[in-house]
Amino acid sequence: MTCPQTPTAAASEHTTIGTIAELRGASLDRNSLQLHSTALRSAASGIVITDDNGIIIWVNPAACALTGYAELELVGQHTRIFKSGEHGPGFYANLWETIARGKAWSGVIVNRRKNGSLYAEEQTIAPVYGESGRVTHFIAIKQDVTAQQHTQNELAQAHGRLEYAHGELEERVSEIEALNQILREDKSRIDAELRLGRQIQRRLLPQAPDTWHGVDLAVSSVPCFEVGGDYYDFIDLPNDDLGLAIGDVSGKGVGAALIMSSAQAALRIAAPNEPDLARLITRLSALLYRTTPREKYATFFFARYSPGAGVLRYVNAGHNPPLVCSNGRITRLEATGPPLGILEEPVFNEASIPFGVGTTLFLYTDGFNEAENPEGEQFGFRRWVALVGGSAGHSVSEIPGLLTEVISRFENGSRASDDKTLVILRRAE
């Protein structure tokens, strides 16, 4: 799809829509809540979001894989970056006329990848309305159908898959339209949408495998609101290495969750291809600096465990110091750089620590050590370190429940003011 620069130039200025959002400084009004929820709901599909002028503001990993561009190369570009020259002005005029009337458009477009190759893309485009009733953004859901168009035989074989995909895309368009209506109504409907957002967020956060290349893993994550700002991840890396991440976005709710999901997408794309951890986290910080409001930032810790070498390499971007328990001693992995998104040109350093058999790594967010009882007293870092050290003798699967139970008893019914996320890794062999 192509968005014209002016209504009179519609026939000549259209290009293929593609991509997601840089909502710098956007307040969390109902329209932006709808936009965020839509992006999270469709995370498994190739999704592109633009503003009403066709400027790309957000892309998901599937869209990057489809086009060959990295997220940083697409955000801020006009959708004409995908234009192949295979379609005439009339094609784009019809497309634009359809969505300008507030209707969804579905069809096949020939687009151009970053490497110059052409591909056929089945695409559905839906407009999103602001509270004023004006179209403010466009959402495109994309799927590569190049293989199905090579021969009639391939088309016949792929017919069933395309029919299924078409149904799925129509269903997602209906969901987008339903969300648009929900978010225009009262507070109770918004609360229902936030609960739905939490369910989607839970699907984005991975389950920890019980064992992985000679290590035991466990995870626990409890948000204080329906949608939290804590983040964790496990990433398979080259050479049988394991990437572990934990983060805490400033603020809570849907806005924090959207920042969290963007960081997750960027990290999963870049980490397998960037062995230099300091450079990897520098790129991630630059992304958040450009695409989030200035008051938003994230503390972040990323580690790469190499089972063959028995070494844990890490960068700590202003996060609570993870704790390493080994032979009765506790080591704090202090910050090696500032939080993500605060500085335009931050400096991060990589550090490492030997990781022998029986060594246990505790990653956590400050919802644990800053938990408060009814009198307003915090649990405190010193008590937290002692609690973690005392739990190291238990099995990894038991530890999250033990620690959470102690903190809950301390809170004694007080409402939690922060999310609580815990990731544990122990070298078993």
pLDDT in tens, 165-202: 677 667 767 776 776 666 566 556 556 555 655 555 56
pLDDT band per the 50, 70, 90 thresholds, residue 402? very high
CB contact burial 361-390 (16+ within 10 A = b; e otherwise):
bbbbbbbbbbbbeeeeeebeeebbbebbbe
Does 3.40.140.10 match the CATH number of domain 7-185? no
Looking at residue 35, what is its pLDDT? Answer: 64
Does 3.60.40.10 match the CATH number of domain 208-427? yes
Q: Which of 180-184, 240-244, 349-353, 373-377 is the least confident region? A: 180-184
- Tokens for 369, please give them: 């050590």
DSSP 26-56: ----HHHHHHHHHHHHTTTSEEEEEETTSBE
Q: Comparing C-alpha atoms, which of 145, 126, 143 is closest to residue 135?
A: 126
Contact between residue 426 and residue 211 where contact means Cβ atoms under 8 Å apart:
no
pLDDT at 259 over 80: no
Give percent above pLDDT 90 in the chain. Answer: 40
pLDDT at 15 over 60: no
pLDDT band per the 50, 70, 90 thresholds, residue 156? low
Q: What is the DSSP letter of 321?
A: P
Kindly report the CA angle at 345 between 69 and 290, in degrees rounded to 5?
Answer: 45
Domain ranges for the chain, please list them.
7-185, 208-427
User: What digits encode the pLDDT tens for the residues 101-142?
Assistant: 778 889 899 999 999 999 898 889 888 887 888 888 888 888
User: What digits encode the pLDDT tens for the residues 317-346?
Assistant: 999 999 999 999 999 999 999 999 999 999
- Per-residue pLDDT, averaged over 350-354, amounts to 97
- Per-residue pLDDT, averaged over 33-48, amounts to 65
Q: What ranges in 108-217 are assigned the alpha helix state H? A: 152-182, 187-204
Q: Which residue has the higher pLDDT, 6 or 127?
A: 127
CA separation for the pair 10, 402 (Å, rounded): 62
Looking at residue 193, what is its pLDDT? Answer: 53
DSSP H or E segment with residue 80: none
pTM exceeds 0.75, yes or no: no
CA separation for the pair 279, 284 (Å, rounded): 9
pLDDT at 158 over 70: no
Looking at residue 98, what is its pLDDT? Answer: 85
- Per-residue pLDDT, averaged over 207-218, amounts to 78
Looking at residue 13, what is its pLDDT? Answer: 33
pLDDT band per the 50, 70, 90 thresholds, residue 39? low
DSSP H or E segment with residue 292: none
Looking at residue 400, what is its pLDDT? Answer: 94
User: What digits encode the pLDDT tens for the residues 51-109?
Assistant: 887 889 888 888 898 899 998 999 999 888 988 889 988 888 888 788 877 788 898 99
User: What digits encode the pLDDT tens for the residues 264-297?
Assistant: 889 999 999 999 999 999 999 999 898 888 778 8
Query: Mean pLDDT of all residues in the chain?
Result: 81
